[in-house]
C-alpha cells in the first residue's frame, strides 16, 4: 500500500482545529444533501421553501443552520429579494460546484461498496450481538 | 455543470437510512483520523494504546466506539491475543485500504481549497458578525 504523505497532514496537526471541524462537517449528511439538492436545481439555485420540501426529514432550524454554515464556508450564496413576503434564494458558488467532484467520488465509492459493508455489518451483528453499533 | 445522475440516489432515497447514517459517519473526524493513523502504521496494524497516543484529544471511550463501528462496517479487523494483560490489535481490511482513495481525494481537495474557505469565512464574519457559525 503506497503511503500518502500529502493527505492528512492538516488532519493530524494539532494547530489546525478549524480544518478538522470542516472535515467533520462535510461528511454531515445534511450538508451533503443540501449541496446535492442545490446542484440538481435549475441554475444550481433554489428558494428556502423548495429546498426544504426536497429534503425529507430536515427541520427548518437544521436547514437554516446548515445553509448558514455552507454560506460561511463560501460554498453557496444567499440572496434576499425585497418582496412581501421576502424571497430568499440560495445558489452554489464556483467553489461549491467544484466541491461536488470529490464528494461524488466518495458517495460513488460508498454506493459501489455498500453491499460489502452491509454484509460485514450483518456478520458482525451475528458474531457479537452485544457489540452492535456504538453511538 | 454536468448532472450526476449516479451519485446521491441512495442519499436522497427515503428507505435507505443506513446509507445516510454511514455517510454521516465517514465524515466524522475521529473515524477519518483512526483510519488515516492505521494506514500509516507498519502493516496497517496497531495496538489500541499506540493508536490512542497517536491521535491527540481522543478519549478512550470515543476511540473504543469508533473502532467498533469501523470494525462493524468491515473497514478494520480486531484481534485479541491471549496474553496477560490481553493484547488487542487492529488492522485495516482490503475494504478499509480501498476506502482511503476517495477519502484522500476529499481531504486533498479541502487542503487545496482551505485558504479560499478561510477567506470566505473571514469575509462572512466581517459582514455579519451576528450570523457567525451556527452549531
Contact B105 A103 (CB under 8 A): no
Let me know if residue B100 belongs to a domain: yes
Question: Minimal Cα–Cα distance from A51 to chain B, Å?
Answer: 13
Let me know if residue B92 belongs to a domain: yes
Let me know if residue A3 belongs to a domain: no
Which is higher by pLDDT, B114 or A61?
A: A61
By Cβ distance, the residue of B26, B36, B72 closest to A8 is B36
Contact A19 B125 (CB under 8 A): no
Question: Could you tell me which residues are beta bridge partners of residue B87?
Answer: B81
Let me know if residue A2 belongs to a domain: no
Q: What is the pLDDT of residue A33?
A: 80
Question: Minimal Cα–Cα distance from A86 to chain B, Å?
Answer: 18
What digits encode the pLDDT tens for the residues B19-76?
666 666 666 778 878 888 888 888 889 999 999 998 878 899 999 999 999 999 999 9
How far apart, in whole angstroms, are the C-alpha atoms of residue A99 and residue A38? 12
pLDDT confidence band for A48 (50 / 70 / 90)? very high
pLDDT confidence band for A111 (50 / 70 / 90)? confident
Let me know if residue B93 belongs to a domain: yes
Let me know if residue A98 belongs to a domain: yes
- List C-alpha distances in Å: B70 to A22, A48, B127: 21, 36, 41
Q: What is the pLDDT of residue A135?
A: 46
Contact A23 B107 (CB under 8 A): yes
Closest Cα in chain B to A25: B27
By Cβ distance, the residue of A33, A68, A104 closest to B131 is A68
* Chain B residues whose beta carbon lies within 8 Å of the beta carbon of residue A44: 1
Q: What is the pLDDT of residue A37?
A: 85
**ipTM for the predicted complex:** 0.75
Whether residue B78 lies within 8 A of chain A, CB to CB, comes out as no
Whether residue A61 lies within 8 A of chain B, CB to CB, comes out as no
In this prediction, residues B74-93 reach a mean pLDDT of 93
Whether residue B83 lies within 8 A of chain A, CB to CB, comes out as no
**Full domain range(s) for residue B112:** 14-130
What is the widest separation between alpha-carbon atoms in chain A?
61
Region for residue A47 given its phi and psi (left: phi exceeds 0; alpha: psi -120 to 50; beta: otherwise): beta
In this prediction, residues A116-124 reach a mean pLDDT of 92
Closest Cα in chain A to B99: A109
Let me know if residue B4 belongs to a domain: no
pLDDT confidence band for A15 (50 / 70 / 90)? very low
Q: What is the dihedral of CA A50, A74, A28, A46, to 10 degrees?
A: 10
- Split into its structural domains, chain A has a count of 1
Could you tell me the CATH number of the domain that includes residue B94?
A: 1.10.10.10
Whether residue A130 lies within 8 A of chain B, CB to CB, comes out as no
Whether residue A13 lies within 8 A of chain B, CB to CB, comes out as no
How far apart, in whole angstroms, are the C-alpha atoms of residue A52 and residue B92? 39
A10 has pLDDT over 70: no
> Which three three-digit cell numbers place residue A52?
426544504
The mean pLDDT of chain B is 81
What digits encode the pLDDT tens for the residues A51-103?
999 887 889 999 999 999 999 999 999 999 999 988 999 999 999 999 888 88
Closest Cα in chain A to B20: A29
How far apart, in whole angstroms, are the C-alpha atoms of residue B40 and residue B46? 10
* DSSP label at residue A47: E
β-pairing, B45-47 vs B87-92, is antiparallel
Q: What is the pLDDT of residue B60?
A: 94
Let me know if residue A4 belongs to a domain: no
Question: Minimal Cα–Cα distance from B122 to chain A, Å?
Answer: 8
Q: What is the dihedral of CA B45, B49, B53, B55, to 10 degrees?
A: 60
Amino acid at each position: 500500500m503506497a503511503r500518502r504523505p500529502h493527505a492528512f497532514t492538516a488532519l493530524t496537526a494539532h494547530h489546525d482545529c478549524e480544518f478538522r471541524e470542516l472535515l467533520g462537517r462535510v461528511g454531515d449528511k445534511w450538508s451533503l444533501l443540501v449541496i446535492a439538492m442545490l446542484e440538481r436545481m435549475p441554475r444550481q439555485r433554489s428558494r428556502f421553501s423548495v429546498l426544504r420540501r426536497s429534503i425529507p426529514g430536515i427541520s427548518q432550524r437544521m436547514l437554516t443552520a446548515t445553509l448558514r454554515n455552507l454560506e460561511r464556508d463560501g460554498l453557496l450564496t444567499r440572496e434576499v429579494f425585497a418582496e412581501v413576503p421576502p424571497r430568499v434564494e440560495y445558489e452554489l458558488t464556483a467553489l461549491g460546484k467544484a466541491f461536488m467532484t470529490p464528494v461524488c467520488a466518495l458517495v460513488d465509492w460508498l454506493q459501489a461498496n455498500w453491499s460489502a459493508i452491509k454484509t460485514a455489518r450483518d456478520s458482525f451483528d451475528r458474531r457479537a450481538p452485544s457489540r452492535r453499533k456504538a453511538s
